[in-house]
A and B are shown apart, each in its own frame.
Chain A
Amino acid sequence: MGSQGGWGQSKEFLDLVKSIGEARSKAEEDRIILREIETLKRRIAEPDVPRRKMKEYLIRLVYVEMLGHDASFGYIHAVKMTHDDSLLLKRTGYLAVTLFLNEDHDLIILIVNTIQKDLRSDNYLVVCAALTAVCKLINEETIPAVLPQVVELLGHSKEAVRKKAVLALHRFYQRAPNSVSHLISNFRKRLCDNDPGVMGATLCPLFDLIKEDINSYKDLVVSFVSILKQVAERRLPKTYDYHQMPAPFIQIKLLKILALLGGGDKQASGHMYTVLGDIFRKVEASSNIGNAVLYECICCVSSIYPSPKLLETAVDATSRFLKSDSHNLKYMGIDALGRLIKINPDIAEEHQLAVIDCLEDPDDTLKRKTFELLYKMTKSSNVEVIVDRMIDYMISINDNHYKTEIASRCVELAEQFAPSNQWFIQTMNKVFEHAGDLVNVRVAHNLMRLIAEGFGEDDEGADSQLRSSAVDSYLHILGEPKLPSVFLQVICWVLGEYGTADGKYSASYILGKLCDVAEAHSTDDTVKAYTTSAIMKICAFEIAVGRKVELLPECQSLIDELSASHSTDLQQRAYELQALLGLDSQAVESVMPLDASCEDIEIDKNLSFLDSFVIQSIEKGARPYIPENERSGMFNIGNFRSQYQHEASSHSLRFEAYELPKPSPPPTVAQVALPLPTTDLVQMPEQTYPRETHQAANLPSATHASSADFGVKLRLEGVQRKWGRPTYSSPSASSSSSTQKTANGATHLDGGGTASSQTRDSFYDSRRQQAEVSAEKQKLAASLFGASTVKSEKRQPSAHKTPKGISTSTEKPAVKGAISSSEPPKEKTLPSSPPPDLLDLGEPTPASIPSVDPFKQLEGLLGPTSAPSAIDHSSAAGPKAPDLMALYADAPPAGVSSGSLNPALADMYTVNKNSHETANVAAVKKGPNLQDSLQKDATARQVGVTPTGNNPNLFSDLLG
């Protein structure tokens, strides 16, 4: 290859890669790349760049882009290169465009023509290259341009082409289902393809199709089952074996499909039982891929119509996963358990300790998975323990995405299973305090609704007790320095409604607190709006009972400030407040009745109470009413509104629209104080969001009327935000019976939980404490799994007995697990053998293949025809495989340690050592690969890359 180095590229490119490799920092790397971009820009623009050169430039561009820089200036050259006749260049062109362009890029239209041409090529490699590009580049618009050809290729003589055509069609289906809906029968046909690769590929689109429409594919159940059976019986060519498993990837796909088809269908599931049982029996559980298949079997069993026998097998497999030392398997076990408990919740109890070990594992992934499981198995008896744990975990993490998720889960569980309202409010407070800005606003509405509605029963005393405890806790929480906005809104609302309700706090005290809030959050308009409304309510209640309201100076200054606010909403609230202060007590009481937030208000949409007024006016010569849509003035208002909303959103205020009032408000709830249009000042409890259009239509007339009469503007915002959709499912039913009992259990266990976490850190070594820890764990287990049912009570004692009693053997493993998980280096039971899944690299030892083999002839035809080199390789690799070391063990340990210890060692040494090492390894197990390694070292040095002390791993074999 002459001037080119050992890897077939020019010196320049090798130098580039080398200098990137040696860059010490990201900044240095960026500098080098930017320089490279300049060079490439210049070179590419030169006239008459030789095509071979251009190919190299493109590869360099790919490199630049891979490192995260923009190479868009060269895209057009990549497109041009796809037009080239030479396959070598064409392939490079296709590679570059598929890497550069997303499906919506403008340049794609320039490639479609080439793709069309290439799909017609008689060289199947060209067709393959084009199909690969089709999968990445063809978007919804261009599908019709290539669709007929792709369909035609489904019948191509080369299986590689058929396979890619199937997958291209699948991609089309994903992009635009309608474009290929008439071609779906083709997938069914390809399922019977005599090449297993094509058949396997067809399973991908079929899986998607079946997911969409299960019933149209029920007829295929038998075919899938028989394919799976054949695969499991090793009827496929041996080349599809993977680590001694017959075509595991195809098995997995088939199992996924069967899981869909058998869901809730007794008859279809009946066909599957035998084959599933066979697979369970045959699967090699010592290899990773075997476990992958096993896991998929469990998923399948748990989603089809349950068979008790298979379920039992699945449970066994799951418990093997959970007991495994490998974190991966534990993870899968937890997931599988989550699926199985849907069928039979009792399964979880058997694995309590394993689950708790996972929960306390330092591995975050495992912990999260376990929380997912706990989430699935929450009931009213264990909700307190689980939610407490979740909140603790939530507080401890920084990842906002997951924090949001777990916060919303806490909320969901609390809403669903809350044993008492008190607990619910406390839990919500915690969630808001620590993740307030991440939770849905709806949650805040629900919390306010709960406080307002109380138990919903007749027990007024309990309700007011609930409210005053909420007020107490909020006044306390207000002392905290930083609180999320949503939470402050809730606090303000509650203080406004109930702050003075029980007479414990004086109005001026509450007003002072509210003013403090407004002052401390002067940039948050929503909070200020809430405080203003709250102040207004407090004042109204005071006036209504005949007390005179003395506004504190800071309150007055707040109102003054808001009256001049840029936010019209705040302004309006301030003016309303001032107007309200001027009214007499009777008017105020009807405007702001005490604790009326739950009252329904009947809206008279026709404004019939104005009829007499209207008639009077018309008689006096006023112009009659013109519907809104015919009025030009309407547009102004509409515009004003939208503009206003726009402005509001830029201030991060969220003003959702109103919702239609409930279709039929209960007739018993009469109109509450509806004397005048000012009713709109009153809370409108059931007015929630999506009412936008409607309200917009109604508002103008109301506004006109009211402003004409009073000069008090309508309050458009604020009210509805406080009243979410009625999503809170009142826990009255679920809480009533179990509340007391579980509350006791939970507090007791709570203490246990914290104690255990404290002790865990300090005393791990002593044996006695181990037992203690485990006792704590068992307590936790009992609280999580034991439940408050009679059954659990039977179980709990037995769980408690174990630490003291006879069966120490059952208890010890759990203890050990706990220790090794939190303190890995100290006590390791299995130091020598890495997890089994890593070792199993062995080539399949040929098992006896049944003589009736549909695929075998085909393979015989194909085998020897092409690529002798590949076969050489495989035969060379054959013997070495079984000996390979743990794959993701940290390189060869010797290499790493010596390399990092002596970074100053001469390059030669490292090279020698390295080649020596590989030579050693190779001599032992690799045979011909010794030469490979030596050659590679030689080329590496020829290029100028010498392994340096700081990265000896560049040279170490990935597989070994």
Chain B
Amino acid sequence: MIHFVILISRQGKVRLTKWYSPYSQKERTKVIRELSGLILTRAPKLCNFVEWKGYKVVYRRYASLYFCMGIDADDNELEILEIIHHFVEILDRYFGSVCELDLIFNFHKAYYILDEILIAGELQESSKKTVARLIAAQDSLVETAQEQANSISNMIAQATK
């Protein structure tokens, strides 16, 4: 099971955190601090895994952004590595050549996407197309809702003129 997903930049700035097991705010801060100390200092070419307090943390670096997932000791690390990549590919499709900046300003969208990929710490969907379809459906619905709201407010505005 995946216990948490953390995105940190090379400077140690937090870009996204998602916790699938209960962690208090204090523990979260501690986890992030310790992990960034551990992972950001690792040289390239080493294992993409670190053992940490009985868990394993699988991380992968994309440009200057580190995607980290904390998993149980008996999970398949290579699989998790590919789940990370699966997530990044979907982000890439959604944002169109995703870059760190997209995630900084659209972290809530990244959350929605993550919610379609992982749920309760398990991979829920391994088809990129299905995920993309769901996200698009949500977005289009949101857009129509926005349009409706706009048109209604326009009507009200005109009526009150």
Our verdict on whether A and B bind, yes or no, reads yes
Q: CB of B14 within 8 A of chain A?
A: yes
Q: CB of A220 within 8 A of chain B?
A: no
Q: Which of A70, A954, A955 has the most CB of B within 10 A?
A: A954
Q: CB of A249 within 8 A of chain B?
A: yes
Contacts known (A68-B28, A295-B76); A88 close to B53, Cβ less than 8 A = no
Chain A residues, CB < 8 A from B29: 68
Given A9, A250, A331, which contacts B77 in the complex, CB threshold below 8 Å? A331
Q: CB of A869 within 8 A of chain B?
A: yes
Q: Across the interface, do A959 and B79 meet the contact criterion of CB distance under 8 Å?
A: no
Q: Across the interface, do B62 and A959 meet the contact criterion of CB distance under 8 Å?
A: yes
Q: Across the interface, do B122 and A167 meet the contact criterion of CB distance under 8 Å?
A: yes
Given B14, B81, B132, B136, which contacts A67 in the complex, CB threshold below 8 Å? B14
Given A20, A240, A332, A951, which contacts B126 in the complex, CB threshold below 8 Å? A240
Q: How far is the CB of B126 from chain A (nearest CB, A)?
A: 4
CA of A887 to CA of B85 in the docked complex: distance in angstroms?
9
Chain A residue with the shortest CB-CB distance to B82: A289
Chain A, interface SS category: helix
Q: CB of B155 within 8 A of chain A?
A: no
Q: CB of A655 within 8 A of chain B?
A: no
User: How many contacts A-B (CB < 8 Å)?
Assistant: 266
Contacts known (A66-B14, A128-B134, A163-B124); A955 close to B93, Cβ less than 8 A = no
Interface residues of A in 227-241 (CB under 8 A from B): 237, 239-240
CA of A331 to CA of B16 in the docked complex: distance in angstroms?
28
CA of A291 to CA of B78 in the docked complex: distance in angstroms?
7
Chain A residues, CB < 8 A from B102: 936
Q: Across the interface, do A99 and B18 meet the contact criterion of CB distance under 8 Å?
A: yes
CA of A29 to CA of B101 in the docked complex: distance in angstroms?
18
Interface residues of A in 917-960 (CB under 8 A from B): 918, 922, 926, 929, 932-933, 936, 940, 943, 945, 951, 953-960
Given B14, B51, B145, which contacts A402 in the complex, CB threshold below 8 Å? B51
CA of A369 to CA of B46 in the docked complex: distance in angstroms?
13
Q: Across the interface, do B64 and A956 meet the contact criterion of CB distance under 8 Å?
A: yes
Chain B residues, CB < 8 A from A637: none
Q: CB of A323 within 8 A of chain B?
A: no
B-binding segment of A410-418, A783-791, A870-878: A870-878
Q: CB of A269 within 8 A of chain B?
A: no
Chain B residues, CB < 8 A from A922: 97
CA of A866 to CA of B115 in the docked complex: distance in angstroms?
20
Given A88, A363, A918, A951, which contacts B97 in the complex, CB threshold below 8 Å? A918
Q: Across the interface, do A328 and B25 meet the contact criterion of CB distance under 8 Å?
A: no
Q: Across the interface, do A867 and B137 meet the contact criterion of CB distance under 8 Å?
A: yes
Q: Across the interface, do A7 and B82 meet the contact criterion of CB distance under 8 Å?
A: no
Q: How far is the CB of B148 from chain A (nearest CB, A)?
A: 9
Q: Across the interface, do A951 and B120 meet the contact criterion of CB distance under 8 Å?
A: no
Q: How far is the CB of B128 from chain A (nearest CB, A)?
A: 7
Chain B residue with the shortest CB-CB distance to A957: B97
Q: CB of B123 within 8 A of chain A?
A: yes
- Total interface residues in chain B, CB < 8 Å: 87
Q: Across the interface, do B62 and A292 meet the contact criterion of CB distance under 8 Å?
A: no
Given A102, A237, A874, A943, which contacts B132 in the complex, CB threshold below 8 Å? A874
Q: CB of A63 within 8 A of chain B?
A: yes
CA of A889 to CA of B44 in the docked complex: distance in angstroms?
8
CA of A873 to CA of B90 in the docked complex: distance in angstroms?
10
Given B47, B93, B99, which contacts A877 in the complex, CB threshold below 8 Å? B93
Q: CB of B60 within 8 A of chain A?
A: yes
Q: Across the interface, do B108 and A62 meet the contact criterion of CB distance under 8 Å?
A: yes
Q: CB of A824 within 8 A of chain B?
A: yes
Chain B residues, CB < 8 A from A560: none
CA of A932 to CA of B122 in the docked complex: distance in angstroms?
32
Contacts known (A167-B120, A954-B100); A368 close to B132, Cβ less than 8 A = no
Chain A residues, CB < 8 A from B101: 936, 940, 945, 954-955
27 contacts between A and B (CB under 8 A): A66-B17, A68-B29, A87-B141, A88-B145, A91-B112, A95-B115, A135-B120, A164-B124, A197-B130, A242-B82, A249-B79, A289-B82, A867-B132, A867-B133, A870-B93, A870-B135, A873-B132, A874-B128, A891-B64, A929-B97, A936-B99, A936-B101, A957-B97, A957-B99, A958-B62, A958-B92, A958-B98
Interface residues of A (CB under 8 A from B): 5, 7-9, 14, 17, 20-21, 29, 59, 62-63, 65-68, 70, 86-88, 91-92, 95, 98-99, 102-104, 123, 125, 128, 132, 135-136, 160, 163-164, 167-168, 170-171, 174, 196-197, 200-201, 204, 237, 239-240, 242-243, 247-250, 252, 256, 288-289, 291-292, 295-296, 299, 327-328, 330-332, 362-366, 368-369, 401-402, 824, 841, 862-863, 866-867, 869-870, 873-874, 877, 887-891, 918, 922, 926, 929, 932-933, 936, 940, 943, 945, 951, 953-960
Shortest 9 CB-CB distances between A and B: which pairs?
A: A953-B64, A867-B136, A292-B78, A958-B62, A932-B96, A870-B132, A7-B105, A239-B129, A249-B126
